[in-house]
């Protein structure tokens, strides 16, 4: 990421990226450097310890094997840790919230377990939609993912 031009992006998205990067602070610093003043950064990551949170049906007997298979260097972030990471990069955090509660997690895992044929996967989408609606209806205070929105402050003259 070091070849990103400074202050050249109005919007940067990093969805399911930071949990794969050892130097996540360095990555956020670089993304902040590439943002134009007033530019937005949208981040989505797994929530810390999401594999063992309520509503997750994964069975993970060996976390090291899971890391190797997933490519993750950490399970995820708490909302507080994400806020600290972004603020440490000089960004102003506008919003941090959890997403993907019990029903959304079930829908995601159901979709992932359906074998590759596209028609069958397409048939699973209504289940995903219903589960997402149930999550929205009940809120996701203990969601399994973290979404954050931050802005690069404009320079003070």
Domains and CATH numbers, the chain: 1-101+141-157 (3.40.50.150), 102-139 (no CATH)
* pLDDT tens digits in sequence order for the chain, 157 residues long: 668 899 999 999 999 999 999 999 999 999 999 999 999 999 999 888 665 544 444 545 555 655 555 677 888 899 999 999 999 999 999 999 888 777 777 776 766 666 666 676 677 677 777 777 777 776 556 778 899 999 999 975 5
Q: CA angle at residue 103 from 99 to 105, to 5 degrees?
A: 65
What is the pTM for the complete model shown? Answer: 0.76
Q: Is the dihedral of CA 113, 132, 20, 98 positive or negative?
A: negative
Q: How far apart are the first and last CA of the chain?
A: 29
Element (H, E) at 71: none
């Amino acid at each position: 990421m070091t070849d990103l031009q400074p202050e050249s992006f109005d919007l940067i998205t990093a969805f399911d990226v930071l949990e794969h990067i050892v130097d996540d602070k360095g990555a956020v610093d670089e993304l902040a450097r590439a943002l134009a003043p007033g530019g937005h950064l949208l981040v989505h990551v797994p929530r810390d310890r999401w594999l063992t949170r309520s509503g997750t049906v994964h069975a993970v007997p060996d976390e090291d094997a899971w890391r190797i298979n997933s490519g993750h260097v950490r399970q995820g972030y708490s909302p507080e840790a994400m806020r600290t990471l972004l603020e440490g990069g000089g960004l102003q955090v506008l919003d941090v919230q959890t997403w993907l509660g019990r029903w959304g997690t079930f829908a995601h895992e159901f979709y992932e377990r359906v074998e590759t044929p596209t028609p069958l996967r397409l048939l699973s989408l209504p289940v995903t939609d219903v589960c997402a609606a149930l999550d929205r209806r009940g809120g996701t205070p203990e969601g399994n993912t973290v979404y954050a929105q931050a802005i690069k402050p404009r320079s003070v003259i």
